[in-house]
Amino acid sequence: MLYASGPSTGTVAQGFTDRESNERLVQSCDRLPRRLAAPKPGEGRSAAKADAGAPFAPKPHRPSPNGADFALIRITMTTALNPAEVAQVEQTIEMFEVITQSQPHDSQSLEILKEAYSKLGREKDVVTTSKRIAQAYVQMGQLSSAILEYETILQRYPDDPDVQAALKEIEAKANNFQLDAPPTDISAPPPGPAAKAQRATAKTPAGEIEDGRRLMHKHFVEGKLITAGDFDLCWTTPDAATPSNRIVEPFIQVLADKGIVELNKSLRLLADKSRCAYLPMQQYDMDIDLARKFPADTCRRWCVLPFDRMSKSIFVATANPFNQQAAKELSEATSNRLLWYLAPPDELVKNIRKVFR
């Protein structure tokens, strides 16, 4: 359950669809370009990203664009970026091409890749990625979102045969769903506000924070990977009301340090259960200035770190993708959407120390 939260609430974003794709992703990380973490001399990240989040004007709708149209779009888009910004967008493309290759239905990463292609005027890649996003929505059962994505393509390419065929297939699925749907029981009235409040209170006792303990216990203990005693020994619940001057080591790192569960095994389990995209931070040129705009206490207490941005989305690394409290605290510091990625805890701790010295 990958948290992609807005100003005040967290929502679940889709990522992994099966264990096999997750394992391919972990293996593919070794193939990431080493030059990602090597910025050009004299080019700082702050200057490169000063205008990276500014939205671009919508491209004109052309019923049947030709080669000249593609060239015009590319020139218009790339001339709006300086060389440092172009290099940064290219870095983002390389990273997320690897991620989406191993996770073909990760709509969140595909959206980021699509926007990066758009910034460089790579229209053909934008359309291809839009189709992949729509296909991912179909796989997740989000047919309305898939239709909207396909209709966006049809605004520029009304005769695209792939899109037309896909929309007919979605229409057939929707009709079958309506025929197979059981009748709705309307005899019982919906629960009132008092009943909803009582149910919410029963789920979350007063004073309890959603730091991911319940789901971690479910996957590690009830999943028979570790004992309840090992869980209690390694789990730490920091005081959310007290400022933190030290980094609280992630649960899976403590398990590895005590020789209870290997780190890679824990990462694969979390990626599989949370459907959270995996990202190796040591090969990513993170934005330190961006990270320092967020509360150091929150980053240290929950071992989370905002490390980059794309338009109105901010990427955040974590070793506990079920921590809703961390999502809540970070969302209070920004109006942008937070996109969460699973990172190795040792790399995460190292970068937090580097940012908040």
All structural domains of the chain with their residue ranges: 18-180, 210-355
In this prediction, residue 243 carries a pLDDT of 78
In this prediction, residue 84 carries a pLDDT of 85
Backbone φ, ψ for residue 260 (5° rounding):
-85, -50
Residue 270: closest CA among 27, 2, 32? 2
Structure tokens at 351: 């970068």
Show pLDDT as tens, one digit a residue, over the chain (357 residues): 344 433 333 333 334 344 444 454 444 444 443 334 434 444 444 334 433 443 333 344 444 444 444 444 444 444 477 888 888 888 888 888 888 887 888 888 898 899 889 989 999 999 999 999 999 888 888 888 888 889 889 988 988 999 999 998 888 876 664 434 444 333 334 444 444 334 433 444 435 789 999 999 999 999 999 999 999 999 999 887 777 788 999 999 999 999 999 999 999 999 888 888 888 888 788 899 999 999 999 999 999 999 998 878 899 999 999 999 999 999 999 999 898 999 999 999 999 999 998
| 287-311 pLDDT per residue, tens | 999 999 999 999 999 999 999 988 7
In this prediction, residue 178 carries a pLDDT of 44
Radius of gyration of the chain (CA): 22
Residue 317 β-bridge partners: 305, 341
> How far is the CA of 190 from the CAs of 195, 196, 355, in angstroms?
10, 10, 50
Q: Is 327 helix (H, G, I), strand (E, B) or coil?
A: helix
Which CATH superfamily hosts domain 210-355?
Type II secretion system, protein E, N-terminal domain (3.30.300.160)
In this prediction, residue 53 carries a pLDDT of 40
pTM of the model: 0.57
In this prediction, residue 215 carries a pLDDT of 95
Cβ–Cβ < 8 Å for 124, 146: no
DSSP string, 276-342: PPB--GGGS---HHHHTTS-HHHHHHHTEEEEEEETTEEEEEES-TT-HHHHHHHHTT-SSEEEEEE
To which residue do tokens 């997740």 refer?
140
In this prediction, residue 175 carries a pLDDT of 65
| One CATH from 1.20.140, 1.25.40, 3.40.50, 1.20.58 for 18-180 | 1.25.40
In this prediction, residue 186 carries a pLDDT of 32
